[in-house]
A and B are shown apart, each in its own frame.
Chain A
Amino acid sequence: MSTQDKMTVSDVMLAIDATPQANRTTLLKEAFELMDHHNLGIVCVTSADGTLEGIITDGDVRRMLNTIQKPIAALMSDDVINHAVLTPLTVTSATKLSDAIAVMGNKKVWDLPVVDDGKLSGLLHLHPAVEALLAQ
């Protein structure tokens, strides 16, 4: 078995404190600020005990802007949960990295929340994952 085959999500995922997190009532505007702060296109919506309740990505926002009818000022004040994907794809920290990257390729996503025992434990972001694999 090659080193690449041994790698798991836990080897390259962003730690929980490097993962953009919001709660259900975080304003959409604040969620965008979190994306900018972390320089990532995703925010994970979690409950007080760390359960993942949904995600919102910049792609979700782009698609929403093509259809939303309310004023932007009102949209910015919405609770983020109202626009979140409530059943996102996830991986665990023990998922093989190659399998996780295959999922990203198939679904055309750049980020996957890492969930262990129902709780968010980090974020798999495509760039460090690819860099890690290329370094092998």
Chain B
Amino acid sequence: MTSKIISIQTPGGNTIEIGGNGDLVLIAGPCAIESYDHSMKMADLIGKVCNQYHVKWIFKACYDKDCRSSPNSFHGVGLEEGLRTLERVRSETGLAVTSDFSDPAWGAATGEVVDFIQVPAYLCRQTSILRAAAETGKPVHLKKGQFMSPWNMKNSCRKIEAFGNDQILLTDRGTFFGYNMLINDMRAFPIMAETGYPVCYDATHSIQMPTSMGNISGGQREYIPHLTRAAAAAGIDALFIEVHDDPPNALSDANTVLDIKYFEVVLAQAKALHDARRELKAKWGEDNVHAR
């Protein structure tokens, strides 16, 4: 099934389209805004690779990390400083930017700055958050909660639609497999695609091992390439990767962010497989081998 297309407007006046059997789109950046300088550095490093491979992308960084394991973990630079930083990155690079928000009261202000608004996975069925996201009028990046079945994401989509927004990207970031462990069920992509919306794979949160290290989350980033290739082959419209130039010292998700030095090899393979899958689809048609 070919999904509908969602459109993200860049400050430079361009449109990034996700879905519709189009090119693979990337959403990437550090997990958290660490500083203006660091955000600009990451935008530059990621942008160089994306330009080389002709991949359209959206800069992602969050200003408030409300689901950290410990009260002592870095919580983020906060709403005001975060939005100021995102606005500067946006205006100085011309990139579309995105952030999540974890309090409905922050939705409107966040929506005034970002071009694409993200709903955190843990909050993916909270009506107040979905309403605030929908009412920004910006396309909504809706992550599947680790506790949600892919088919039940339809209910969250319906809530967003009920609040007047039908621009949704659905992302798999792993599903709880017992305690402290996530797995990716590749069936999630065709199942979520049945909603008609484009789908995305979150390459770095999927390998997270939630709160596996007592008061912080671990992760097995050695599997990022394997799972990303599998997702691209299964069929995705967008790829989400958190990237950092110094993972051991990253202020958030240090155990899962992808080192920038490996970013190219992951992106290049994902793009190649995405393009190959589209060629196969053109030759062999839809994947439906179970028609009624």
Residues of A within 8 A of B (CB): 27, 73-74, 77-79
Contact = CB atoms under 8 A, between A and B. Distances in A.
B223 interface: no
Interface of B: 149, 151-152, 154-155, 191, 194
Contacts of A78: 151
Nearest to A86: B292
Contacts of A27: 154
Q: Which 3 A/B pairs are nearest by Cβ-Cβ distance? A: A77-B151, A74-B151, A77-B154
A2 to B, nearest CB: 44
A102 to B, nearest CB: 29
A74 B155 CA distance: 12
Contacts of A73: 149, 151-152
Contacts of B155: 77
13 contacts: A27-B154, A73-B149, A73-B151, A74-B149, A74-B151, A74-B191, A77-B149, A77-B151, A77-B152, A77-B154, A77-B155, A78-B151, A79-B194
Contacts of B151: 73-74, 77-78
Contacts of B149: 73-74, 77
B160 to A, nearest CB: 14
A49 B157 CA distance: 24
A130 B154 CA distance: 42
A73 B155 CA distance: 13
